[in-house]
């Protein structure tokens, strides 16, 4: 498959043959599985405190004639604490036991539980290749909701990696036909429900992914653009190429990134 090579000013230079990694069959099931594996590794471990539900003084004797004992009162033998007293008559309330108010949970979450899922190396590489092929499929990219120019897909010249100013990146992307896509990813939506109290108040749509050959000034220049991500070719994963396990993210591959994929045989 040949795609055109453009400069940052949208001047066509020549056509470039994409490496065989972009010819992988479309496998949304593999992509979804690879993304879920990455997301499982990012989950934070949760667990109950070892003292949860055991912070009461609830020593109650079950023996006959013991002071403050509950023998002979016709009540179940659950752990209880003394709420009040009148003479030798004690008034208890349940504690410790799972079915009582303020008691422990029967089977609380435990921090030693392994939440991370595993994936075979070849299966993961196949998922990444399939997600790479989806980024150059115009129909899948449009179906995902991105606003792309009519010339898409295309490769951009390596000089794009040397841009040091955010405004230069914005101007270049606008000239390439991604002005509507930048507006789409800059919209900030307030999340409904309790997410506003849990440090996830806003939502934004994922925008353009720029793949470079390595570390470059563009990473800092485009860092402040909403929805825009910059990644090295060797650091790609399924979640970057298919956020939310939805393949077809609009992606700009630089000429250096394509050369790196060919020479290093990445994900082959």
Range of the domain at 227: 2-39+118-264
Positive/negative CA dihedral, 236, 240, 244, 245: negative
The reply to whether 191 and 228 lie within a common domain is yes
Domain endpoint, select from 87, 114, 141: 114
> CA 58 to CA 259: how far, in whole Å?
71
The reply to whether 28 and 84 lie within a common domain is no
The reply to whether 13 and 53 lie within a common domain is no
Burial class (CB in 10 A: 0-12, 13-18, 19+), 177: middle
Exposure string over 23-40, b if 16+ CB within 10 A, otherwise e: ebeebbebbbbbbebbee
What is this structure's pTM? 0.84
The reply to whether 74 and 165 lie within a common domain is no
The reply to whether 159 and 253 lie within a common domain is yes
Number of compact structural domains in the chain:
2
The reply to whether 162 and 235 lie within a common domain is yes
pLDDT per residue of the chain (268 residues) written in tens, 0 to 9: 899 999 999 999 999 999 999 999 999 999 999 999 999 999 999 999 988 888 888 878 888 888 888 888 888 888 888 889 898 888 888 888 898 888 889 999 999 999 999 999 999 999 999 999 999 999 999 999 999 999 999 999 999 999 999 999 999 999 999 999 999 999 999 988 888 888 899 999 999 999 999 999 999 999 999 999 999 999 999 999 999 999 999 999 999 999 999 999 999 8
């Amino acid at each position: 498959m040949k795609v055109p090579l453009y400069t940052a000013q949208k001047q066509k230079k020549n056509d470039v043959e994409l490496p065989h990694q972009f010819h992988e069959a479309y496998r949304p099931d593999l992509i979804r599985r690879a993304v879920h594996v990455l997301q499982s590794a990012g989950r934070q471990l949760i667990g109950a405190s070892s003292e949860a539900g055991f912070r009461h003084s609830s020593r109650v004797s079950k023996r006959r004639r013991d002071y403050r004992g509950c023998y002979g009162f016709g009540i179940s033998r659950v752990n209880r604490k003394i709420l009040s007293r009148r003479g030798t008559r004690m008034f208890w309330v349940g504690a410790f036991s799972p079915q009582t108010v303020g008691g422990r949970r029967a089977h609380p979450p435990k921090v030693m539980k392994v939440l991370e899922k595993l994936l075979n190396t070849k299966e993961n590489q196949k998922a990444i290749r399939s997600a790479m092929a989806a980024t150059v499929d115009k129909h899948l990219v449009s179906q995902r909701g991105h606003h792309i120019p009519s010339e898409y897909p295309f490769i951009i010249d390596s000089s794009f990696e040397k841009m040091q100013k955010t405004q230069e990146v914005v101007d270049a992307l606008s000239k390439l036909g991604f002005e509507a896509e930048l507006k789409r990813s800059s919209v900030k939506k307030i999340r409904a429900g309790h997410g506003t109290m849990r440090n996830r108040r806003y939502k934004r749509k994922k925008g353009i992914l720029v793949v470079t050959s390595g570390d470059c000034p563009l990473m800092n220049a485009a860092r402040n653009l909403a929805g825009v991500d910059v990644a090295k070719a060797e650091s790609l994963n399924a979640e970057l190429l298919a956020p939310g396990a939805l393949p077809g993210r609009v992606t700009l591959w630089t000429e250096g990134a394509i050369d790196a994929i060919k020479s290093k045989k990445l994900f082959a």
